[in-house]
Structures are given as C-alpha cells and as structure tokens.
Amino acid sequence: MMKVAHTICPSCSVGCGVNLIIKDNEAVGTYPYKRHPLNEGKTCRKGRECFKIVMENRLKEPLLRGNGLKQSSWDAALDAVVSQIKLHPAPEVGIIISGKCTNEEYETLKKFSKNLGVENIGCHTGSVPSVDLGTATLDDVENSEFILIIGDVIKETPLLGRWIILAKENGAEIFAIDKPDETLTGVNSHQYQQVESISSIIDEIDSTVLEKLSSQSTVIISNLENGDNFEKLLTFFNQYDTKIIPVFQDCNSRGAMNILPILSDDDLSDLLEKIKVLYVVGDDPASIMIESMKNLDFIISQGCMVNETTSISDVVLPGSCWAEKTGSLTNTTGETQEISKILEPPGNALDDQNIITKIAEKMGLEL
C-alpha cells in the first residue's frame, strides 16, 4: 500500500505545499507538489524532510505521574486532568498553545477557556508580537519595483526568498539589511547594509532607501530576536506607503493571532507566575523557562512529541501531528489553507480537538 497525498509543510510560516509518500500508514518520504500555487513543487530541505516529523519522538499513550511518568488509560489521564482543574479557581489555571496548531484548535480552545472562565490563555510565539495589518501577497512581492529585506529571508525562509529572486528577474531593486558580514540575502541583493544591531536600523537606515518606499515596494521583516524591535519596525514602516510582510516563526502563528492573545516570552513568564495549573497544547515552555515553571502544582501537556515539558508534566495526553488532522493553517502572508487528515495517529494518540472536547465533557462544559 502506497499513496501520495497533499499537505502543507509545517516547518515554517510560508505554507508550501508538499506531497507525503505514505506506505502502510507510515510517512516514508515527500514528493513534489507541483500544483501548489505558492511553491510549485519546490521546497527547502526542511520541507522535503517534513515527513520525518511524523515519526520523531512520538507520544503514543497517555502518561500519568505516579512514581515517575507511567502509561495510563485515557480515562484515568483525563480524570486526573479534570480533578486538578476543578480543584483550582479559574484565575489559577493557565492555558498555552503553540503557533503550530490549526485554526480550529485555537477556536475550540478559546471556547473551552471562555466557558471555564480562564483568562490566562494565549499563544506563545516567542519574539513576535500580535500584528493586525493587511500584508502584501506573494504576487505583490513578485511585482514590486523595490524590496527592502530585514533579516536573511532567502536563507531562513527560502520559498519566500524565491519570490524575491523572481522579482529581481522582473527588474526589482533589492536592498538588504542585517547584522552579519555577509548573508545569503545580502549576496543576492543589489545593496547590502550591515548594521550594529536591529534596534538601530531606524536610525542608521540609508535615507535614499526610504525615498524608494512606495505603493510599488515591499518591506519584508524577518528573523528578529525580540518583539520590541519587531513592533518598532512595523510601526516605523507603516508610516510609509509601502506593503509589508512580517515573517512569523510557526506555520500558524498568523492564524493564532487572529483568534487568541499572543504571548511574548515576557508575557509567558508573567502568566506562569500567576497560575498553579498549566495546560499546554503543542508547546514546550520548559525548553525556555523551566525555572518559572517550578512553582506550578500541576502541569498537563498535550501534544504529539516528547519534549522537555512533557518530561516534567503530571499528565501527558498524546495528540496528533499536522498530517493526522483536518483543519486550516494561515501563513505569514495571511492566506488560509486547508489540510486534511492523511495518516492515522500512532498508538492511542487522539486528535487534539477531540482531546479538548473530551476534557470539556468530563468537566460538564458545553463546547
């Protein structure tokens, strides 16, 4: 049994189409998806190797902490979750989710928290703040006369970079700004400006560059180490009559910010201080702030992979990876694309929306 099935690459925020090669319910490779308008069968290495995510470090059974984490039944695991949530008043409960889940999961989780009265909820996106702006489309990039790039877009998100190459072939002028001596984007631009730090861009930027910003230009902002910079740059360039593309980190960061509050690293650590019970969906906060998690009474971790957070959790609920669920993802230019379930989750893992619904049912909540 072999089949080739369409999906969207989950590895960055560009949203390329890829075909997974599936043999006996196992993802064994990828195959070019040439019909996909965004990337026409072209992908970077992460895209071509995304099938590996399906197999990597998967959680297959619910786990419950006794003397260490032990395999348990779904019922026992969910009962533990429910009793702990019930034991704490809503303000002591926090819910966080990553930018890698589907829009439908965000909606379901939003309803769940609302009905539960939990206000400490958000999507953790690292450095990127919530933005609410109309961004340029990829066609806009291709048809731009001038493109200003902050960060190494061609290297980090090559399939967005491809549209810059196409624009250049169309005669666009390309100007790049970044910190290193040389970058791949810089080498492929007409001009490269090296800056001391991203925060100084606004002061240092070549004034002739700003004169070139017009409705026929696009500014692409990527690869920033902190949210303040990102916000400053967005505000700065928003004064000009130019199109903008912010490059988010995860495959559905953009979708998450349409539905849920966005948590920066600081916001997340504030949230952790306020609560006693944490319910994590598809995320790994322990990998960046394990210290702030020491005061928690109870951690519930739901997701498809073993990570640092699952190892310190009290209950682990095995969820599905992107290829095992149906829903939609919104890419960095704001385009929403459907994905469908093309694989069965392994072992006793379940669909994530289904898990949230089960918890709600046991809590006696309507969703």
Partner 1 sequence: MFSEPKILGFCCNWCCYGGADTAGTARMQYPPNVRVLRVMCSGRINPAMVLKAFKEGADGVFVGGCHMGDCHYDAGNYKWNRRAKLIEDLLPEFGIPKKRFRFEWISASEGEKFQKTMEEFTDTIKSLGPLHRSFPKMSNKSPMC
Partner 2 sequence: MESQFLLAKAKDDELAVRGECGGAVSALFKYLLDQDLVDGVLTLTRGEDIYDGIPTLVEDSEDIISTCGSLHCAPTMFGDLISKHLSDMRLAVSVKPCDAMAIKELEKRHQINENLIYKVGLNCGGSLMPITAQKMIEVFYDVDPSEVVKEEIDKGKFIIELADGTHKSIEIDELEEKGFGRRINCQRCELKIPRNADLASGNWGAEPGWTFIEVITEKGKKLLDGAKKGGYIEVKTPSEKAIIIRGKIENAMIKLAQKYQEKYLEENYPNIENWDEYWNHCIKCYACRDACSLCYCKECDLEKEFYNDEDGVVPDPLTFQGVRMSHVYFSCINCGQCEDVCPMEIPLAVIFHRMQKKYRDKTGFIPGVSEELPPLFSPEKE
CB of 136 to partner 2, least distance (A): 19
Q: Which range, of 158-166, 178-186, 242-250, 290-298, touches partner 1 by CB under 8 A? A: 178-186
Give the per-residue contact string, 39-68, with partner 1 (x = CB under 8 A; - = no): ------------------------------
CB of 1 to partner 2, least distance (A): 7
Helix, strand, or coil here: 116? helix
Nearer of residues 70 and 190 to partner 1, judged by Cβ: 190
**Residue 51 binds which of partner 1, partner 2, none (CB < 5-8 A, kind-dependent):** none
Contact assessment for residue 300 and residue 84, using Cβ atoms and an 8 Å cutoff: yes
Q: Which of residues 111-150 bind partner 1 (CB under 8 A)?
A: none
Please check whether residue 129 is in contact with residue 269, taking contact to mean a CB–CB distance below 8 angstroms. no
Of the residues 115, 127, 143, 193, which one makes contact with partner 1 according to CB under 8 A? 193
Strand 315-318 vs strand 298-303: parallel, antiparallel, or unpaired?
parallel
According to CB under 8 A, which one of 192, 248, 279, 298 is a site residue for partner 1?
Answer: 192
User: Which residues are 175's β-sheet partners?
Assistant: 148, 191
Exposed, middle or buried, 108 (CB in 10 Å: 0-12/13-18/19+)? buried
Binding flag, residue 211, partner 1 (CB under 8 A) = no
Q: Which residues bind to partner 2, rule: CB under 8 A?
A: 1-6, 19, 21, 23, 28-29, 31-32, 34-35, 37, 39-45, 48, 154-155, 158-159, 161-162, 165-166, 169, 182-184, 186-188
Quick check: helix, strand or coil at residue 347? Answer: coil
Residue from 129, 158, 186, 285 touching partner 1 (CB under 8 A): that is 186
Cβ closer to partner 2: 5 or 312?
5
User: Min. distance of Cβ 35 from partner 2 in angstroms?
Assistant: 4
In the list partner 2, partner 1, none, the entry touching 193 (Cβ below 5 to 8 angstroms by class) is: partner 1
Cα 336 vs. chain centroid, distance in angstroms?
14
Q: Which residue intervals of the chain are DSSP H helices?
A: 45-48, 51-55, 74-87, 103-116, 138-142, 153-156, 158-169, 184-187, 201-204, 207-211, 227-238, 253-259, 265-274, 286-289, 308-311, 352-363
Distance of alpha carbon 78 from alpha carbon 76, whole angstroms: 6
Segment contacting partner 1 (CB under 8 A): 44-52, 176-184, 309-317, 342-350? 176-184
Residue 199 binds partner 1, judged by CB under 8 A:
no
Among 80, 167, 176, 304, binds partner 1 (CB under 8 A): 176
| Closer residue to partner 1, CB minimum distance, 144 or 189 | 189
Structure tokens at 218: 């696009």
Min dist CB 44 to partner 1, Å, is 20
Between CA 367 and CA 203 the distance in angstroms is 50
Q: Look-up: residue for tokens 């960055």?
A: 12
**Beta bridge partners of residue 5, listed in sequence order:** 20
Residue 204 lies near partner 1 (rule: CB under 8 A): yes
Binding flag, residue 194, partner 1 (CB under 8 A):
yes
Tell me how far, at minimum, the Cβ of 255 lies from partner 2, in Å: 22
CB 129 within 8 A of CB 281: no
| 151 touches partner 1 by CB under 8 A | no
Question: What is the rounded distance in angstroms from the CA atom of residue 294 to the CA atom of residue 298?
Answer: 10
Which residues make beta-bridge pairs with 258? none
Chain contacts with partner 1 (rule: CB under 8 A): 176, 182-183, 186-187, 189-195, 204-206
